[in-house]
Structure 1
C-alpha cells in the first residue's frame, strides 16, 4: 500500500493508538525524524517490545538505587514499556556492570553505570573499562564526604584527623567497596593529610551506613546523599565534603579546601548499555533520559534525596568518563595503590 494511498483504517488506528504508541511517537519527534536511519521504522515497531531491565550495581537503599528508581518512575509516562530496577551489588559494582556487559546488546538490559567503572580497571579489579559501554546519559554527581556518629568525640574535620594521626591504622573508616571512588578518596585524604586509616569495605553505601549507625566503624566515606537522612535526623554528623564549594542542603558543612586540604573527589551515576547496542535504540533511550530529567517529579525526588542533578548527554558523558579514567589512573600510580 503506497504512502499516498493509505489503508482506510490507518487514520482510525492512529487515533485510537494505545498510550505506548503515542509515547513512541513523541520520542521520535524528540529525536528528530530527519536524523533517523532508514532501519528505524522497523526497529521502532519492535523496540521496546517488553520491559527494560535497569541493573543497579549496588545494594538497595543507597544513592545509586534511589536514583535508578526515581528515573524509572519518571519514565513511566515517557517510555513505551516499564523500566524495571534490578539490584546486583558486590565487588564495588563490578558484578552488576559485568552482568550487563555479558548480556545481549539489544537495549533490554541497561546499567546504572557508576564512577567505579573508571577506578576498578585502573586497580586491576575489572577486565572491562568505560569503553565497553555505550553511554546514554549522566544523571547525577555528588562529592564524597566524611561522616561520623552524632555521639563521636570529633566535631570538626581537624579533630577527626588529629585522632587518626595519633593512632595510625586504628580509626576504622568505612567505604562502599574496595576500589570504589569512596575508597580512593579516603586514600587521597591519607596522602593529603598525613594520616593512615583502617579501611573497611562494604558491598555498597547502604550497608556501610548501617555499619556506622551500629557502631561497627568509626567513620564513613560516602556521598552526602547516602547519609543525609540520618544527618538531618540527628543520628550522624558530617565533618567535611570533598568539593570545591559547599552544597546547599548541608550549608554548614565545610569543604576540605576550606580546611586547607586540596581534595575534591566524588561519584557520579548514569545510564549505559553494552557497546554495540543499535544506534536507534541508544538514541531512543537518550531522548527518554533527556525528557526524564526535566520531569518535576524526578527533580523533586533528587532534591528530597540530596542527590545532585548533573545531566550530560552521551557525547559529553563519554568525555567525562575518559577524563576520570585518566585521573584515577594517575592517582593510583602516583600513590602506588595496590589492592
Structure 2
C-alpha cells in the first residue's frame, strides 16, 4: 500500500486534528554533484541516527532507506541506534550534529510531544524536515496465551484489573496510543516504558506485561509466528500487514491512532544541501527495492516533504498538545 499525504494520522474519537489538504512535492533545484558555493554533498559516509532499539520500525525502515540511498550517491550510508529518553537522545544527537547533511535523524510523533511533557527542549522548530515516508496504525497486542483473546475480553479484564501495558518510552507515540485506547475502552492501565517497540513486544511475548500497542507492521512477524495475538488495529480499515485482524472500531472502540516516521537534517543545513537531500530521498521513495521492502513487510508508504512536511509537523505539535491535555498525562 502506498499513498502520498493521505492526511490520515493519529486521531481519537474527538478528532483533535484534521490534516490540512496538501498537494504535490516541494520543488528541488540543486544537483547531487555540483552545489554552488561549496563542496559537493555527500563527500563522506552518511549516518542515519535511529532513536530506538534495533528491530523496530524506525530501525528497519531507516536501514532500507540507507540501502536504497547508496544507489543514488557515491558514499556508504549507515544506521546507528542511539536510544533513551523516549527517542530524545537520538533525535537531539542528530539535530545538534554538524549541519553538513552527513548526519540524518529519524523522527516520529515524539518530536511533537517532548516539550508538552517536559522530556526535552526539542520540537519541530529545531530540525530541517526531509521526508515522511511511512505511517503506522497502532495494533493492540497481547500474549498468545493471554486469558483475554478478544477486545471485549480485554475490556472486561481491564475493568476489574489493572492492565500492564508496555510502550516505547514515556511520552512516545506508542505511549499515547496505549493511553488513547485505554481511555476509549475505560480500562485501568499501568504504563511501563521500554527503549523501543521491539523490546516492548518482547516484554509481552515473555509474559512480563499484559499488552502493548505498537505499529501493525512492526508486530506482524511475531503475530505470524504465534508469539503475540493482535486484537484490533486502530485504523479506518484492515491493514495489509495484518489482513485478518479487525479494526478496533469494528470491535466497538471508536479510535484511530498510530505513528509515522520521517527523516530530518539539523536546523542550520544549507539550502543547497537540503535540496540535494530532498532529491535523493525522492529517488529513495521511488526506488524499486525500497518499495518492495515496504510492501513485503507491511509498511504503508506515505510521502510528505519540504514545506508540506513542515506544516504537518506544526499541526502534529498542536494535536499532541491537545491530546496530552485530554488524556491528563502529566510531565515527568
TM-score past 0.5 threshold? yes
Decide which of 240, 243, 253 is 2:235's aligned counterpart. 243
Question: Paired residue for 2:18?
Answer: none
The reply on whether 1:187 has 2:179 as its aligned counterpart is yes
The reply on whether 1:299 has 2:301 as its aligned counterpart is no
Shift of 1:304: 2.4
The reply on whether 1:122 has 2:116 as its aligned counterpart is yes
Deviations 1:300-335 (A, max 9, x none): 111222221111122221122111111110111123
Decide which of 33, 48, 51 is 2:45's aligned counterpart. 51
Question: Paired residue for 1:157?
Answer: 151
Q: Which has the larger radius of gyration?
A: 1
SS in 2 for 1:46: coil
Q: How does 1:23-172 map to 2 (within 5 A)?
A: 31-32=28-29, 40-43=35-38, 45-167=39-161, 170-172=162-164
TM-score with structure 2 setting the length: 0.87
SS in 1 for 2:230: strand
Shift of 1:32: 4.3
Within 2, Cα distance between the matches of 1:187 and 1:32?
43
Say if 1:138 and 1:314, in contact at 8 Å, map to a contact too: no
Within 2, Cα distance between the matches of 1:294 and 1:332?
36
TM-score with structure 1 setting the length: 0.85
Within 2, Cα distance between the matches of 1:80 and 1:220?
41
**Greater helix content:** 1
Within 1, Cα distance between the matches of 2:244 and 2:41?
48
SS in 1 for 2:148: coil
Deviations 1:93-148 (A, max 9, x none): 00001111222211111101122111222111111101111001101101111111
Structure 2 portions without partners, runs of 5+: 1-26
Say if 2:217 and 2:242, in contact at 8 Å, map to a contact too: no
Shift of 1:31: 4.1
Q: How does 1:267-306 map to 2 (within 5 A)?
A: 267-306=259-298
Greater relative contact order structure (CA < 8 Å, 6+ sep): 2
Count residues with an aligned counterpart.
Answer: 303
Shift of 1:162: 1.0
Say if 1:209 and 1:226, in contact at 8 Å, map to a contact too: no
Within 2, Cα distance between the matches of 1:66 and 1:217?
24
